[in-house]
A and B are shown apart, each in its own frame.
Chain A
Amino acid sequence: MGERPADERVRDFSEVDTGLSAEEAVTEAQRCLQCKKPSCVKGCPVEIDIPAFIARIAEGDFAGAAQVIKENNLLPAICGRVCPQEVQCEGQCILGLKEVPVRIGELERFVADHERKTGSRLPPKAEPTGKKVAVVGSGPAGLTAAAELARLGHSVVLFESLHEPGGVLMYGIPGFRLPKEVVRAEIDQLRGMGVTILTNHLVGTSVPVSELLSYDAVFLGCGAGLPHFMGIPGENLNGVYSANEFLTRVNLMHADRFPEFDTPVRHAGRVVVVGGGNVAMDAARVARRLGARTTLVYRRRKEDLPARRAEIARAEEEGVTFIFCASPVRILGEQCVTGVECERMEMCATDASGRPEPVPVEGSRFVIDADMCIQAIGQGPNPLLVRMLPGIRTGRRGNVIVDEEGRTDLGKVFAAGDIATGAATVILAMGGAKRAARAIDRMLRNS
């Protein structure tokens, strides 16, 4: 696996990880023990037959490997790049007990990239059932549900409110981790399978709820796109962004290439990013690429950072400065941001989840000079459509309540992904969507 050097990659938006060569892939695949009871598969929410596709790679049959993967996953180039494999498939690989687990994610990515370059083949489709399903939202949940339902023979319309399908894959995760042409190519396969994708359609207004409920079944994959703000003074100064806004301007609207593209983003010499998850890492690394001195402020300790280890290391290599055990209390400035006032935190008594609770230290305030502050402290489930659905049950955080198979309280309405779980991961959204699609299929066949 190759990785471009930090001082080179921090100057552009091209992919950091350069992937495996064919030889490396074959060698890596040969490490797999081809377990009779493969534990790795238990760690894959979309149930890819991992040993089977790895066996094909070992034989040099890359196209065959792709076919095996696609029986269960139409987005392998995406998953191979962004799945937190260390807690999914690779985390369960038997080799991990003694040495390094098989690099399943890298292998999956290699196969998908190879297929994209040599011509895609689509999985076979069942006979048309004549049933119509509406899928709301084109993030990983919506894409997976749409693909699965189309494969099972249903006619699928996928609605997306933005001008480009993909959800967070398009607007959130930056191109240097997930190139947009990769996302577009995988989404294109859905079109090839006969899924109609209607962009610019906000379900609830462009498509009234009554029309939505006239479909034979409905799948909600609206995601957790509602940005949270800290609620501290100075938050409406110019130069304060939610991570969603900052990343959308750059990833979806290409503000990094302003004025060739029309959408601007403020140019800042010094940026403070608040948060410690994947979103915060992405925002900080994008800010570095826009040329800013970037400081990430996190209220707990380094070992508590929820982001993936590999991405934290890369952010460090790219020159992001970390300040741990500190939290902003005020953003300073007249009209524009001039600084972020923080206070130190001490890790005290454990909270309900068993983690030590950060408690402010009296008299410990300090100021970080900055002309931009990006808040990456989390997103909530998108409330817009859910509020319009009479009788749907939601949890305390606005997430739609579903059973094991994604069923909501409204008969033919199913949901999965971040709208049901709260902000989680691509692969959990896909796993949930797949279970829901199968339940929808059973419901439609029995009706």
Chain B
Amino acid sequence: MTLHFSRQGEDEIVGYRVKEASPMAERIYQIWIEAPHVARNARAGQFLVIRIDEKGERIPLTISAVKGDLVRVIFMAVGKTTYQLATLVAGDEIRDVAGPLGKPSEIGHFGHCVIVGGGAGIACCPIIARAAKAAGNRVTGIIGARSAGFLILEEEMGETCDELFVATDDGTKGHHGFAADVLKQVIGKERPDRVWIIGPAIMMKVTSEVTRAAGIPTLVSLNPIMVDGTGMCGSCRVVVGGETRFACVDGPEFDAHKVDFDTLMARQKTYLEEEKLALERFSSHRCGCGGRDHHG
């Protein structure tokens, strides 16, 4: 007897369905993905890795909310993969979703927690804010963006936090200036017991100087380039307290005052040329084929 069998057994997962997809702000999108294995076990501070299709790259995105079997990710379109992700609509399938990955945020009863989000980094804030709140903390939120058009999750953060501040670089909404300025004011009024700062590397570097001077325990969520996200390749290595750590398994959250941000920022630039090429190739094909079907 010769047996023929399919590539995929009955219980096996072939793809993960997009349940909802919508733009949130300029170049920022949210999608809800059906991924029970991630949703059931996800905790604040963890991330997932997606690969959109057979030819796709594995990219890490923070888990920003969970509802039943669904997980939400919020992302800024910056390159090929995130632009392609932005074209997905409800009903589409993502080939691979792995997670939850990374260590969850350490949340305890600290007293006063401040959560600072910058740009797409705000995506990570509500889930941490909710966890901190549930642990009995007083929670202050500070969210900042380049301009009002880039601001996200104001309502959601407003509902969760005891107090929420908004800052924009150009003054189109809230405080005119950086989130770091607002953080200084908050510290002046009521000294926090714990601070989270999540955003672009340069924003985390600058903002964590504010709490260093005041000696306040501060965490940042690092975003180096990753491949597997499971501790197997070392692409995500960062320098913390003079030691090499793997952000995907030892982090992504680390003590802000020990992080070598300059090395992080330098390593993020490893593939600048290739990223540019991939994006150009993708955007010259706006027909929805993902720049692929016409190529060999």
A-B interaction: yes
CB within 8 Å of B: which residues of A? 119-122, 161-163, 171, 188, 191-192, 194-202, 205-208, 225-227, 229, 231, 235-236, 238-239, 241-242, 244-245, 248-249, 253-254, 258-264, 266, 335, 382-384
B9 within 8 A of A: yes
Q: By the criterion CB–CB under 8 Å, are B233 and A245 in contact?
A: yes
B269 near A191 with CB under 8 A, answer no
- When A207-B37, A245-B233, A262-B56 are in contact, do A162 and B3 touch as well, CB less than 8 Å? no
The answer to whether B96 and A163 have CB atoms under 8 Å apart is: yes
- The answer for the CA separation of A224 and B2 in the assembled complex, in Å, is 36
User: Interface segment, B171-179, B184-192, B207-215, B270-278?
Assistant: B270-278
CB atoms of A225 and B232 under 8 A apart: yes
User: What is the bound-complex CA distance between A238 and B96, given in angstroms?
Assistant: 28
B98 touching A245, Cβ below 8 Å: no
**Given A121-B3, A191-B6, A196-B12, A263-B57 contact (CB < 8 Å):** yes
Pick from A195, A208, A262: contact of B81, CB under 8 Å: A262
User: Which of A163, A201, A264 is B275 in contact with, Cβ under 8 Å?
Assistant: A264
What is the bound-complex CA distance between A119 and B58, given in angstroms? 34
Q: Which of A161, A192, A206, A236 has the most CB of B within 10 A?
A: A206
Is there contact, CB below 8 Å, between A248 and B37?
no
Q: A161-B228, A163-B96 are in contact. List 20 more A-B contacts (CB 8 A).
A: A121-B3, A163-B51, A163-B58, A188-B5, A191-B12, A192-B5, A196-B9, A196-B11, A197-B12, A200-B99, A205-B100, A206-B100, A231-B244, A236-B266, A248-B233, A260-B295, A261-B56, A262-B55, A262-B57, A335-B269
CB pair A258 B233 closer than 8 Å: no
Other-chain contact of B98, A188, A202, A207 (Cβ < 8 Å): A202
B274: chain A residues at CB < 8 Å are 258-259, 264
Q: Please judge, given known A-B contacts A196-B9, A196-B12, whether A163 and B234 are in contact too, CB under 8 Å.
A: no
Whether B2 and A202, one on each chain, are in contact in the complex, defined by CB atoms closer than 8 angstroms, is no
Q: Which of A162, A194, A231 contacts B9 (CB 8 A)?
A: A194
Do residues A383 and B6 form an inter-chain contact, with CB atoms below 8 A?
Answer: no
Answer whether residue B17 sits at the interface, using C-beta atoms and an 8 A cutoff.
Answer: no
Q: Quick one: which of B92-138 are within 8 Å of A by CB?
A: 95-101
Is the CB of B205 closer than 8 A to any CB of chain A?
no
B237 within 8 A of A: yes
**Chain B positions within 8 Å of A264 at CB level:** 271, 274-275, 278
Q: Check A161–B230 contact: CB distance below 8 A.
A: yes
**A121 contacts which of B1, B271, B295 (Cβ < 8 Å)?**
B1
Cα A261 to Cα B100 with chains together (Å): 25
Alpha-carbon separation in the docked complex, A214 to B152 (Å): 41
Distance (Å) between the CB of A69 and the closest chain B CB? 17
Scoring A241, A259, A260 by chain B CB atoms within 10 A of each residue's CB, the highest score goes to A259
Tell me the complex Cα distance, A166–B1, Å.
27
Cβ A206 vs Cβ B38 within 8 A: yes
CB atoms of A249 and B227 under 8 A apart: yes
Q: Are A227 and B234 in touch, CB under 8 angstroms? A: yes
B residues neighboring A (CB under 8 Å)? 1-13, 37-38, 41, 46, 51, 55-58, 80-81, 95-101, 227-228, 230-235, 237, 239, 244, 249, 263, 266-267, 269-271, 274-275, 277-278, 281, 292, 295-296
Residue of B nearest to A245 (CB): B233
In contact, A259 and B281 (Cβ under 8 angstroms): yes
Residues of chain A within 8 A of B266, CB atoms compared: 236, 238, 335
Are B97 and A200 touching (Cβ within 8 A)?
yes
The one of B2, B51, B231, B267 in contact with A120, judged by C-beta atoms closer than 8 angstroms, is: B2
A240 CB to nearest B CB, Å? 9
**What residues of chain B lie closer than 8 Å to A266, measured between beta carbons?**
270-271
Instruction: Report whether B244 and A235 are in contact in the complex, using a CB–CB cutoff of 8 Å.
Output: yes
- Give the chain B neighbours of A241 by CB distance below 8 A: 234-235
| A245 to B235 alpha-carbon distance, docked (Å) | 6
Interchain CB contact (< 8 A) of A384 among B56, B231, B239? B231
In the complex, are the beta carbons of A245 and B99 less than 8 A apart? no
B96 touches A200 (CB 8 A): yes
CB distance from A95 to the nearest CB of B (A): 35
Whether A384 and B249, one on each chain, are in contact in the complex, defined by CB atoms closer than 8 angstroms, is yes
Report the Cα distance A202→B274, complex, angstroms. Answer: 29
Could you jot down 19 A-B contacts, CB within 8 Å? A119-B4, A163-B58, A191-B8, A192-B3, A196-B12, A199-B96, A205-B101, A227-B234, A229-B237, A236-B239, A236-B267, A245-B227, A254-B55, A262-B56, A262-B57, A264-B274, A382-B231, A382-B232, A384-B231
- Chain A residues lying within 8 Å of B38, measured Cβ to Cβ, are 206
Q: Is A245 within 8 A of B234, CB to CB?
A: yes
Which 8 pairs show the lowest CB-CB distances between chains A and B?
A264-B274, A245-B233, A192-B5, A262-B57, A200-B98, A225-B232, A163-B96, A119-B2
Closest Cβ of chain A: how far from B2's Cβ, in Å? 4
What are the residues of chain B within 8 A of A227 when measuring CB–CB? 232-234
Q: Give chain A nearest CB distance to B55 CB in angstroms.
A: 5
A248: B residues at CB distance < 8 A: 227-228, 232-233
Q: Chain B residues with Cβ under 8 A from A235's Cβ?
A: 244
| Whole-angstrom distance between the Cβ of A439 and the nearest chain B Cβ | 26
Which residues in B have their C-beta under 8 angstroms from that of A384? 230-231, 249
Chain B residue at smallest Cβ distance from A167: B232
Kindly state the separation between the CA atoms of A123 and B292 in the bound complex, as whole angstroms. Answer: 41
Q: Which residues of A contact B6 (CB under 8 A)?
A: 191
CB distance from B254 to the nearest CB of A (A): 15
Chain A residue, CB-CB nearest to B235: A245
**A residues near B269, Cβ cutoff 8 Å:** 238, 335
Whole-angstrom distance between the Cβ of B88 and the nearest chain A Cβ: 15
Q: Which of A188, A200, A239, A253 is the one whose CB lies under 8 Å from B13?
A: A200
Q: How far is the CB of A361 from chain B (nearest CB, A)?
A: 28
The answer on a CB contact under 8 Å between B296 and A260 is yes
